[in-house]
Amino acid sequence: MARKAAEPSMIETFADFKENKNVDRTTLISVLEESFRNVISKMFGSDENYSIIINPDKGDFEIWRNRLVVADDALKDSNLQITLTEAQKIDADYEIGEEITDAVDFAGFGRRAVLNLRQALSSKILELQKDSLFSKYKDQIGQIVVGEVYQVWKKEVLLLDDDGNELLLPKTEQIPNDFFRKGETRRAVVVKVDNENNNPKIILSRTSPLFMQRLFELEVPEIHDGLITIKRIGRIPGERAKVAVESYDDRIDPVGACVGMKGARIHGIVRELCNENIDVINYTANINLFIQRALSPAKVSSIKIDEENRKAEVFLRPEEVSLAIGKGGLNIKLASMLTEYTIDVFRDVEIDNEDIYLDEFSDEIEPWVIEQFKTIGCNTAKNVLAQSREDLIAKTDLEEGTIDEVLGILKAEFEEE
């Protein structure tokens, strides 16, 4: 019978390693055999006359060596040959020219050989583990994963998956109101997997629009089943988002299905996203109508579309302008993100013959300053002059000196006339 190696628990050790590190058993056995052969080859110059049998169920292995029986005075290579005297100690019937196969005790090769084997195995298994981790998460880019918070740092959070693999959630990919406690579980979407120097780094995100999309797929069965499609997402993480959805079944109300009875479905998503407000609207390929829906709750009077430059001039009644812009400009910003059009808002008032569009003052007033006035619905000189100085300071991000300079230019224009 073959003799076991000096450390009979070696296979079990690697089996335990496999259970924790996701190295499959077949690969592990192959690596073990390859490592044995490498050590033998280095010692004797060749491993071709060796047979290695791995027995994972019993937790042991066998090594057999084939040698040619030669006369006692003809021995040249003890690795490939065995003397007749030695062969007949194993079996008295052996004769010169026959092949003999006998078991080898690997521990008999010496402590150094055993140490080299273990080092080679550790290195190879670590390499396999990294390859397996990279392949696993590369296939999961764009998918939600769950991790346990292990360490919270200033610039990132370290999470561990069920197998103990490290996942990184950078500060830039965290929702502003996110708060992490060690030991709690968090969901995020895999956005990137680096493998520099064969050292996999899995990057997660909770701010990506894709994270919101995956949450909708989890919460809304109709989206998961493909009856409803998320066409566009405009999102300012932690603040507000707009989601455009479309149904391929006329019997299904896509907005109602996403919101759920009494908001039950969307509330779960809102909680996950730290109370981020979510507006769900019906998608349409009609860009004019889509922009109107995107600017909700404001009611649009008319729109001028520049498809080539992807710009839209939206006209609203004066009382609707603030609704279209929204608090801090969030509504119009999200509408632009959702429609992928630059949206300019104007007050829907008839311009008299004496009034002048602000664009005509571009030689005297910086274009970015003019754009600031347009964002609050003032697109003509008289629109601006109709506002009090205090209101202009409060509504725009302009300095007082800049506003005074603009008011001076506009007043001078009319005084000259």
pLDDT at 393: 87
Question: Coil, strand, or helix at residue 306?
Answer: strand
pLDDT at 1: 38
Mark which of 135, 152, 184 sits at the end of a domain. 135
pLDDT tens figures, 350-381: 555 677 878 788 889 998 888 888 777 677 78
Tell me: do 41 and 100 sit in the same domain.
yes
pLDDT tens figures, 117-155: 777 777 877 888 888 889 889 999 999 999 999 999 999
Between the CA of residue 397 and those of 29, 95, 401, 402, 416, what are the distances in Å? 68, 102, 12, 10, 29
- Residue 216: exposure state from Cβ atoms within 10 A (0-12, 13-18, ≥19): buried
Average pLDDT score over residue span 226-248: 95
Tell me: do 130 and 246 sit in the same domain.
no
The token pair that represents 185 in the structure block: 């579980």
Of these ranges, 2-6, 72-76, 240-244, 300-304, the one predicted with the greatest mean pLDDT is 240-244
* 353: in domain: no
Whether pLDDT at 3 is above 80? no
* 302: in domain: no
Q: The pTM is what?
A: 0.65
pLDDT at 371: 81
Give the residue numbers spanning the domain of 216: 212-283
pLDDT at 274: 93
* 314: in domain: no
Tell me: do 116 and 64 sit in the same domain.
yes
Mark which of 207, 227, 259 sits at the end of a domain. 207
Classify each residue of 131-141 as buried b or exposed e, where b means 16 or more C-beta atoms within 10 Å of its C-beta: ebbbebbeeee
pLDDT tens figures, 314-336: 988 888 899 999 988 999 999 99
